[in-house]
């Protein structure tokens, strides 16, 4: 553990003479030793190659991470903005209840996973399973709900059971991705934006009843209006939605521009060749379960998307999970994914602090 990068105790600590645990002049009572914030936890880079993620570990046995976090929120926020993600390791968080307590201590309440694009299950309250894609499939780097006009600023992961093989949650710096993209490709996406099209009701993707958490069509239409989504009912139980979103976002605190979209995931070219051929054999392109276009509906060049994927791959950082590991991710500064795995694996997820283009626009107005 590298202790040279310890963060000093927050300013504003009272002088020893005024602390409740300081001995009174002339007093003969039992002296209580004060434990400093630096003694409770140690922090330093997990990897010698770069700052992502920051590793935080207990400095002594029995540290209550939720209690520590509640009194060190400013430090956590500062470290998260600097590093993009924080890995809390060794704090014996072995239950969803402890996980929820920690999240609420730092910055709850937890958000519902509405307008989700991947299959998940409720675990407790607004704690969900991680994406329930088949274990052999890789999930490329992405920022959660960046296909929407509303998204969580923070994502928490708890590893209750690491897979015996694979199953890492790789990370990538979205600031670096933005900077490393070919300026011509980046400008094209910025100027033209991205149109996400989803078709529900064919049994090949998450059902609209689960995505919107209702089977009431009128409520679906209401939710779409509230979130700036265009919706259209087709024959039978089919629904089509279109949502226009920017390709780049600006972080509300740091002001930095970040690559923030899922065009590379939604576009049909992101599928394995056999899966792509099978879907195009079943559906016309306009009826695919999901796809991405430029904002005017014109096709996105596949070589541009492959360039984006290559930059994302080059920014990927991965580390093995350990039981009880907690990972806090700034969802705008850092993208995440999932490596294929075998054997049992149990990761649960909580999201906090709703943000988005509509909220930012309302605030600016």
Structure tokens at 305: 């998307």
CATH number of the domain where residue 139 is located: 3.60.130.10
State whether 101 and 220 are in the same domain.
no
Among 34-43, 45-54, 144-153, 299-308, whose mean pLDDT is lowest?
34-43
Does 7 map to a domain?
Answer: no
Does 3 map to a domain?
Answer: no
pLDDT above 80 (res 113): no
If one counts the domains in the chain, the total is 2
Does 73 map to a domain?
Answer: yes
Three-state secondary structure readout of 261-277: CCHHHHCHHHCCHHHHH
Structural domain ending residue among the three candidates 311, 335, 351? 311
The pLDDT tens digits of the residues spanning 236-245 come to 889 999 999 9
pLDDT above 70 (res 284): yes
Does 200 map to a domain?
Answer: yes
Specify whether the CB–CB gap between 34 and 15 falls below 8 A: no
State whether 45 and 141 are in the same domain.
yes
pLDDT above 80 (res 185): yes
State whether 43 and 72 are in the same domain.
yes
- Supply the range of the domain harboring residue 236: 178-311
- Structure confidence at residue 125 (pLDDT): 66
Structural domain ending residue among the three candidates 311, 326, 343? 311
pLDDT above 90 (res 23): no
pTM: 0.84
> Among residues 147, 242, 228, which one has the least CA distance to residue 199?
242
The pLDDT tens digits of the residues spanning 163-178 come to 999 999 999 999 999 9
DSSP letter at 355? E
Does 235 map to a domain?
Answer: yes
Residues 173, 27: Cα–Cα separation, whole Å: 55
pLDDT-based confidence at 41, cuts 50/70/90?
very high
CB atoms within 10 A of CB 281: 7
Question: How far apart, in Å, are the Cα atoms of 179 and each of 134, 182, 188, 190, 329?
Answer: 33, 8, 15, 13, 20
State whether 284 and 339 are in the same domain.
no
State whether 284 and 326 are in the same domain.
no
State whether 136 and 183 are in the same domain.
no
pLDDT above 70 (res 20): no
């Amino acid at each position: 553990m590298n202790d040279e990068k310890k963060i000093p105790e927050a300013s504003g600590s009272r002088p020893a003479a005024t602390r409740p645990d300081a001995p009174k002049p002339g007093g003969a009572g039992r002296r209580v030793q004060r434990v400093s914030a630096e003694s409770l936890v140690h922090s330093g880079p997990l990897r010698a190659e770069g700052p992502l993620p920051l590793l935080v570990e207990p400095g002594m046995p029995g540290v209550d991470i939720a209690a520590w976090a509640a009194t060190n929120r400013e430090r956590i926020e500062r470290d998260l903005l600097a590093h993009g993600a924080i890995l809390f390791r060794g704090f014996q968080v072995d239950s969803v209840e402890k996980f929820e307590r920690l999240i609420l201590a730092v910055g709850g309440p937890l958000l519902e996973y509405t307008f989700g694009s991947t299959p998940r299950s409720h675990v407790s309250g607004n704690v969900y399973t991680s994406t329930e894609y088949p274990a052999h499939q890789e999930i490329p780097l992405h920022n959660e709900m960046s296909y929407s006009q509303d998204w969580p600023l923070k994502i928490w992961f708890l590893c209750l059971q690491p897979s015996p093989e694979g199953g890492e949650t790789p990370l990538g710096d979205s600031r670096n991705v933005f900077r490393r993209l070919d300026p011509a490709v980046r400008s094209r996406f910025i100027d033209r934006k991205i149109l996400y099209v989803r078709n529900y009701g064919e049994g090949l993707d998450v059902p609209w009843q689960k995505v919107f958490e209702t089977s009431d069509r009128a409520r679906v239409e209401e939710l779409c209006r509230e979130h700036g989504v265009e919706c259209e009912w087709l024959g039978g139980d089919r629904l089509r939605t279109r949502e226009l979103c920017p390709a780049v976002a600006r972080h509300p605190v740091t002001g930095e521009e970040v690559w923030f979209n899922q065009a590379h995931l939604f576009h049909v070219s992101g599928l394995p060749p056999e899966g792509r051929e099978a879907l195009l054999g079943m559906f016309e392109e306009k009826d695919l379960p999901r796809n991405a276009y430029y904002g005017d509906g014109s096709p996105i060049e596949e070589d541009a998307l492959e360039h984006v994927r290559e930059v994302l791959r080059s920014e990927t950082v991965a580390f093995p999970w350990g039981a009880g590991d907690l990972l806090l991710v700034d969802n705008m500064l850092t993208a995440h994914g999932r490596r294929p795995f075998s054997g049992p694996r149990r990761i649960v997820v909580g999201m906090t602090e709703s943000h988005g283009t509509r909220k930012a626009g309302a605030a600016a107005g």
